[in-house]
Structure 1
Amino acid sequence: MTKLDRRAALKAGAAAAATLAMPAIARAQQTTLKVVWMGWPDHQVLPLMAAFEKRNPSIKLAVERMPFSQIFQALEVRLNARGNDPDIYIVDSPLTASYASRGHLRPLDDIIDKKRFAPSAIAAASYQGKVYSAPFGSSMQVLYYNKTMLKAAGIAAPSADPAKRLTWEQVLDIARKIAKPAANIWGFSFEQQERPYQLLPLGQSLGGVALSPDGFKATGFLDGPAFVEAFTFMQKLYTEWKVSPPGQFDTALTPELFGNEKCALMLGGTFLFDTFKTKFPKLDFAVAPHPYFAKGKPVTPTGAWHFGINPRSTQQAAAAQFVKEMLSDDINVLWFKARPYVPTLNAVWAKEPVTFEADMWKIAQYELQNTALPRPATPGFREYEDILRVALRDIQGGGAVQGILTAAAQKIDREIAKYRG
């Protein structure tokens, strides 16, 4: 072989080696993010992930969807192992403080522009002054009312104007005119009869604070005069005035009562609107704003699904890019169309003006910006919620309100104390 031939062979070999190496290099540049997400249907998840991958071809998503009944326990196991799996995970907004305080979420202040979001959404995403979870929608409660039942009782339909919202005293007056317990006809019902999410706003309307500002003390707050008064009112709906159906702790039951025209007024989530339209097509209903106590102020519940970054992820740059893209205006519009949670991103309201002209969405937008109050930020929210749910059941059953709340507050204090540094 001549010198020239040897040189040509070497060049050809080098070119072939480079060609063979290219896929390996491409693979080395490819990043895979492990994502734990809620087990929603394909059409509510896959288009979002596909949109991200299309914009970021060097990042692939390995998405694991889990059912609601399993996701919290599964995440606890993985996060407590303090490994890098998952990189990204879905966060129930009231658990933000719990995850952040235990070192399971990295701060997102360098990624998120807080001005783009409703203030209540940022509050729900924050712990000790830092944003730890990315708001991906919220929830809002509205007062559903049966137009036929109210008209038959000679009662004017409530206004959809938040400035003219009903007081709890007016709700009671309407409910007493309609309720016939012996015939299983009820004047009013909460959708979630034992959930702090639904019931804390009663005490907060009277000025109550559900937990100390540092998130570690319930005594003197949860068992204070405002919550005792509010939950005494709630109790009497069942025990004295008998306008509300007792023992309906399954959240699927009260919407059925309303849909089957067995309940005239129901305080429930905005997501039920489409359910009533499709499942009960003959139901003549409308919505009004969340009630408040006459001597108090309007307060509404809020919060839903956020997501966050595992601080131990080895793919921090890719994870940050995921947060940025999923919080973009167009992906949030895509998400809203797939699953219409109350948008927390301000731009979404402007991009879907026809949809948001409906009374329900006007109410939701007003509440989100003006009256929404997240659940207490505490490392021990799971314990707080579990203890308070039992207490609320006992109160509905006729127990001594002050004693039940004081006992619950003391138990909460003991449970949360374990999270103190």
Structure 2
Amino acid sequence: MRRIRAAAIGAVTMSLALAASACGGGSSADGGGSNDSPKTLTYWASNQGASVEIDKDVLQPELDKFEEQTGIEVELEVVPWSDLLNRILTATTSGQGPDVLNIGNTWSASLQATGALLPWDQANLDKIGGKDRFVDSALGSTGAAGQDPAAVPLYSMAYGLYYNKQMFEDAGITEPPTTWDELIAAGEKLTGDDQWGLAVEGANPAENIHHAVVFAKQHGAEFFTADGKPDFTSDSAVAGVKQFVDLMATDKIVAPGNAEYAQNQSISDFAKGKAAMLLWQSASANLASQGMSEEDYGIAPVPVQSGAPGTGTGVNSMVMGINLAVFKNSDNLDGATEFVKFMTSDAEQKILNEAYSSIPPVKGAQADAAFNTPANAVLKDTLAGSAIAAPQVPDESQFETAVGTAIKELFADAAGGRPVTEDSVKAALEKAQQQMPTQ
């Protein structure tokens, strides 16, 4: 998922099973279309930049370029993250959606289960250059295992630990922390005089989920069993969620006000020197938009419990990013497929991912010098060796909302001075599990 997303609440709980029967009409699902296909496409883009207007400035020249090359006009709408999932779910049930859309990659399996999206089988993948063009870790977040992808990767991101170099120097800290114990120790030195050690987005369910999955995995937990059933209340899952919330509740290196943050306020605090550290996805473009120079901060791998990041309990990020999907009831599947080919071409991947400080999921574009800076090396290494995909289960979007909101409420408890205990964390996760659809 993208860094500025706030997962939509409400429509997430609608029955995805209704969608398959609701999305009919249009061209055939194999990507074929008539020779007189419309010369217009509609495209819902996610809000990747610091504002919707910045996204329009980035995207419109590329869409104009596509029109020059193909004669197909693309009508762009940039949809804020707070509305995007609601809009998509409504479109899957009504059949009234765009031709092409961005989806957070953690939603892939959930939206795949609706039956509304064009499957990217071998024939369709061949039309855009083939499956082998894409990085394996990005492909792992395009739908459930054993099924044709529901989307193709567009932007890839990973979490890093951003730290303020001057604040570290002033506090006598010579190296970024590599374990959570070290991060807490550094945070304690950096907290005081109207500044805090770390900033988080405590009221953002999506951000909460990204961290919860990683913390739980570092304790050896999975939120779903092998057969896809929710398992939110294991001792390891409780320990992971509690450790995350304890950064505010017990360790007190996160400002209580962060319990209300849901719209990039943590990035703003970091850029303005109100917080010395930030856990974020590919944040360079956002920080630059707020006036922070790349010289002012460093990027290190997200800490682990001990040792170094890697596989198993050394996981330190989810595989984040944006996928590009096509509604299979589009009346211009040929044009939509051509647009996906354009957006995932090496040339466009370089332009778009550089604009958003993300990593191209296309191998040919990753070789460009712009994506081989020291900062990007941390993120690329994370994606290659220590990041995991979100749970690829049909109920993933409900999981994000239920558990993400539970953690939001635990942060509110911490900010209000109410104790956050193993029992209270387990109760919150039990409540979240009860909100999941019955199997």
- Coarse TM-score class (shorter-chain normalised): 0.7 to 0.9
Q: Displacement of 1:336 after TM fit?
A: 2.0
Q: Displacement of 1:403 after TM fit?
A: 4.6
Question: Is the 8 Å Cα contact of residues 142 and 268 (structure 1) preserved in structure 2?
Answer: yes
Match of 1:210 in 2: 223
1:152 pairs with 2:170? yes
Match of 1:383 in 2: 398
| Residues 333-342 or 29-38, more deviating | 29-38
Q: Which amino acid aligns with 2:173?
A: I
1:93 pairs with 2:105? yes
* Pair 1:176–1:407, CA change in 2 (3 A): closer
1:330 pairs with 2:347? yes
Task: Give, in whole Å, the separation in 2 of the partners of 1:337 and 1:239.
Answer: 37
Give the 3-state SS of the residue equivalent to 1:127 in structure 2.
Answer: coil
2:253 to 239, 243, 259: 243
Match of 1:412 in 2: 433
Question: Is the 8 Å Cα contact of residues 299 and 375 (structure 2) preserved in structure 1?
Answer: yes
Q: Which amino acid aligns with 1:381?
A: E
Q: Displacement of 1:105 after TM fit?
A: 0.9
Task: Give, in whole Å, the separation in 2 of the partners of 1:238 and 1:340.
Answer: 29
Question: Is the 8 Å Cα contact of residues 43 and 74 (structure 2) preserved in structure 1?
Answer: yes
1:126 pairs with 2:134? no
Q: Displacement of 1:48 after TM fit?
A: 2.4
**Identity percentage of aligned residues:** 20
Task: Give, in whole Å, the separation in 2 of the partners of 1:379 and 1:202.
Answer: 22
Match of 1:184 in 2: 194
Give the 3-state SS of the residue equivalent to 1:166 in structure 2.
Answer: coil
* Pair 1:401–1:79, CA change in 2 (3 A): same
User: In the TM superposition, what whole-angstrom CA distance separates every residue of 1:165-193 from its partner, at most 9, and x where no partner exists?
Assistant: 7011111122223323xx33322333557
Q: Displacement of 1:298 after TM fit?
A: 3.2
Matches within 5 A, 1:384-403: 384-396=399-411, 397=414, 398-403=419-424
Give the 3-state SS of the residue equivalent to 2:391 in structure 1.
Answer: coil
Q: Displacement of 1:364 after TM fit?
A: 0.9
Question: Is the 8 Å Cα contact of residues 218 and 413 (structure 1) preserved in structure 2?
Answer: no
Question: Is the 8 Å Cα contact of residues 44 and 335 (structure 1) preserved in structure 2?
Answer: yes
What TM-score comes out, normalization by structure 2 length?
Answer: 0.77
Matches within 5 A, 1:191-270: 191=201, 195-215=208-228, 217-219=229-231, 222-248=232-258, 249-251=260-262, 252-270=264-282
Matches within 5 A, 1:22-37: 28=36, 31-37=39-45
Question: Is the 8 Å Cα contact of residues 203 and 231 (structure 1) preserved in structure 2?
Answer: yes
2:181 to 145, 148, 169: 169
1:44 to 58, 66, 72: 58
Task: Give, in whole Å, the separation in 1 of the partners of 2:286 and 2:436.
Answer: 39
Give the 3-state SS of the residue equivalent to 2:436 in structure 1.
Answer: helix
Task: Give, in whole Å, the separation in 2 of the partners of 1:286 and 1:369.
Answer: 20
Q: Displacement of 1:63 after TM fit?
A: 3.5
Task: Give, in whole Å, the separation in 1 of the partners of 2:172 and 2:80.
Answer: 45
Q: Which amino acid aligns with 2:40?
A: T
Question: Is the 8 Å Cα contact of residues 391 and 405 (structure 1) preserved in structure 2?
Answer: no
Match of 2:384 in 1: 369
Q: Displacement of 1:386 after TM fit?
A: 1.8
User: In the TM superposition, what whole-angstrom CA distance separates every residue of 1:194-225 from its partner, at most 9, and x where no partner exists?
Assistant: 5212332111122221223443x222xx3223
Q: CA RMSD in A?
A: 2.8
Q: Displacement of 1:46 after TM fit?
A: 1.6
User: In the TM superposition, what whole-angstrom CA distance separates every residue of 1:298-323 from its partner, at most 9, and x where no partner exists?
Assistant: 32123222121212223333322222
Matches within 5 A, 1:1-80: 28=36, 31-38=39-46, 40=52, 41-57=55-71, 59-80=72-93
User: In the TM superposition, what whole-angstrom CA distance separates every residue of 1:130-160 from its partner, at most 9, and x where no partner exists?
Assistant: 21111110222211112222222322122xx
Q: Which amino acid aligns with 1:266?
A: L
| Residues 370-379 or 313-322, more deviating | 313-322
Question: Is the 8 Å Cα contact of residues 242 and 420 (structure 2) preserved in structure 1?
Answer: no
Match of 2:131 in 1: 114
Q: Which amino acid aligns with 1:311?
A: K
* Pair 1:51–1:233, CA change in 2 (3 A): same
Task: Give, in whole Å, the separation in 1 of the partners of 2:376 and 2:428.
Answer: 39
Q: Which amino acid aligns with 2:67?
A: E
What TM-score comes out, normalization by structure 1 length?
Answer: 0.80
Match of 1:13 in 2: none
Match of 1:299 in 2: 316
Structure 2: state its 5+ residue gaps.
1-34, 308-312
Q: Displacement of 1:293 after TM fit?
A: 0.8
| Residues 393-402 or 128-137, more deviating | 393-402
Matches within 5 A, 1:303-314: 303-314=320-331
How many pairs are equivalent?
378
Instruction: Indicate the structure (1 or 2) with the bigger Cα radius of gyration.
Output: 1
